[in-house]
Structure 1
Amino acid sequence: MLWNDQVVERSEVKIDIEDRGYQFGDGLYEALRVYGGKMFMFDEHFARLKRCADEIRLKLPFTKSELKHNLEKLIAAENIDGGEIYFQVSRGTLAPRNHRIPSFEEVKPVLTGNVIPYERPVDKQKNGETACLVEDKRWLHCNIKSLSLLGNVLSLDEALQNGYDDALLVRDGYFTEASASNVWFVIDGSLYTHQDGNLVLPGITKLRLLEIARSEGLTVKEEAVPVSKLEKVDECFVSNSIWEVVPIVSVDGKPINNGKIGKITALLQDKYIEWINK
């Protein structure tokens, strides 16, 4: 594992009970893929981390090059060719427990990270997943990749308890995202996904898919889709850095595209993988 700037055994990592990540969820995280022993879209992930850190007034305890070097050390130490990196930065320890945000001089942020082998979820990408509608009850800073994920956890659990694979979140009659992914719709040949803002996380895979879709000549509309248009949806899929592109083949028990992956979804899957392999 990575602990600040050292690669150590998991048993050596010690986090204080007063750490604000533990006490308040006061911190940030990133999850990214490793292909061929190299991190994919690291620059974009770091840019998001830095933006989120600025949003919560957290001074990162490392530079971009320092973080990249330490994560590369971790990949090499674990001998990972294809995998997933998860790392998080908490604001650090301030005792006694206090809601006030401490200054950088008072606390030192703590970095922890892990990398595990991970293979492309081909079966999921081919056969798709089911989803149901769940009210989006999360906070209004969903653009911050916060450690505070209880809202996402509860939405997924609601879907699982009802026999579905995932939740499509709905706020004020409009789709926002899935429980841990950006969500996309194809309606009358146009590709829709929610515009960036405080109601959704600006996805790194989403960023690349938008580039691909436009380069393929697809009509792209970054706007919220109302639930009232669900009957007109020809294709639906979700995207994130770990799963890449996964079709949603039914919503609330009603098939999308006869329960099969759609042509545009398949195209974007293929083109995204091509981009990875460049």
Structure 2
Amino acid sequence: MRTVYVNGEYLPEDQAKVSVFDRGFLFADGVYEVTSVLDGKLIDFAGHAKRLQRSMDELDMKAAIDMDDLLGIHRELVVRNDLSEGLIYLQVTRGAADRDFLYPAEDTPPTIVLFTQAKPGLAANPMAKTGMKIVTVPDRRWGRRDIKTVQLLYPSMGKMAAKAQGADDAWMVEDGAVTEGTSNNAYIVKDGVIVTRHLGEEILHGITRKAVLALAREAQMKVEERAFTLEEALQADEAFITSASSFVMPVVSIDGETVGTGKPGKIVGRLREIYLEEMRKAAV
């Protein structure tokens, strides 16, 4: 049985509880982060902690916990759950208060929950060799997608739509352009150039995205940060996604149409190799 963290306590998962009045439950008034663990160490923790703070700031949420203490909790959960390879999920909500659309009093303590998910073989995912099949869905989310909130119903619907069509995931499209995947950032490669949506309120500012683009540029790869159309994606030489849980993952078909050769490309393969190598070195 897993040990989880709830509001200052480490508890067996079957004893962990939060209030029915928690605003995360009533209003999706909360933010979250997911940090990968490889070899018992945290991948890009500093980036996730920084984005967590940004998300809270954007929602006028009080500082939930000191980031050094947060690192300590993550490490403790790794030890208590003997986690070698997997994920740590962190959620912070505005806390519990009687149901009201107005925010509760400023001294309302936030709710802080963390738990682990063991994922043996996370870095050796066989899909990295076969590639993902993607379908597209309209992007009908709220406008502030740059804030990593727990409002995940529409992305969940997108994943279910993909599953119903025999695909692995969905990319969301708005005004003819791809925004991002249901839980990942989206990329194409054309004539050696890596193209991904520019940062803005339309997409999540991916931590893995930031690291991958920096590593690509260090490797002298060409990068363009701009919107790309679904038509461009269908004509691309390669396509891929990035996320904390899948790292760099190739896409080999979109809406039933083959991308490039229909097999993972060289640029995507090289990026995944570089990313895993460098992130393992920097892991804490």
Instruction: Identify if the C-alpha distance between structure 1 residues 231 and 130 changes in structure 2 by more than 3 Å, giving closer, same or farther.
Output: closer
| 1:40 maps to which of 31, 40, 43 | 43
| 1:139 maps to which of 114, 139, 142 | 142
Q: TM-score, normalised by structure 2?
A: 0.94
2:96 aligned with 1:90: no
User: What are the within-5 Å matches in structure 2 for residues 26-175 of structure 1?
Assistant: 26-95=29-98, 97-105=99-107, 107-118=108-119, 119-120=121-122, 121-175=124-178
| 1:262 maps to which of 244, 265, 271 | 265
Unaligned runs of 5+ in 2: none
Distance in structure 2 (CA, Å) of the matches to 1:62 and 1:181: 26
Q: TM-score, normalised by structure 1?
A: 0.96
Look up the SS of the partner of 1:140 in the other structure: coil
Residue in 1 that maps onto 2:243 = 240
Shift of 1:231: 3.8
Distance in structure 1 (CA, Å) of the matches to 2:103 and 2:239: 41
Look up the SS of the partner of 2:128 in the other structure: helix
Shift of 1:133: 1.5
Distance in structure 2 (CA, Å) of the matches to 1:14 and 1:117: 21
1:101-121 deviation line (CA, Å, top 9, x unaligned): 12321x211111111221225
Count of equivalent residues: 276
Q: Which amino acid aligns with 2:85?
A: G
2:266 aligned with 1:252: no
Shift of 1:35: 1.7
Shift of 1:49: 0.2
Look up the SS of the partner of 1:259 in the other structure: coil
Look up the SS of the partner of 1:122 in the other structure: coil
Look up the SS of the partner of 2:261 in the other structure: helix
Structural RMSD (CA): 1.1
Unaligned runs of 5+ in 1: none
| 1:204 maps to which of 202, 207, 222 | 207
Q: Which amino acid aligns with 2:28?
A: G
Distance in structure 2 (CA, Å) of the matches to 1:192 and 1:167: 18
Q: Which amino acid aligns with 1:30?
A: E
Distance in structure 1 (CA, Å) of the matches to 2:105 and 2:227: 38
Residue in 2 that maps onto 1:183 = 186
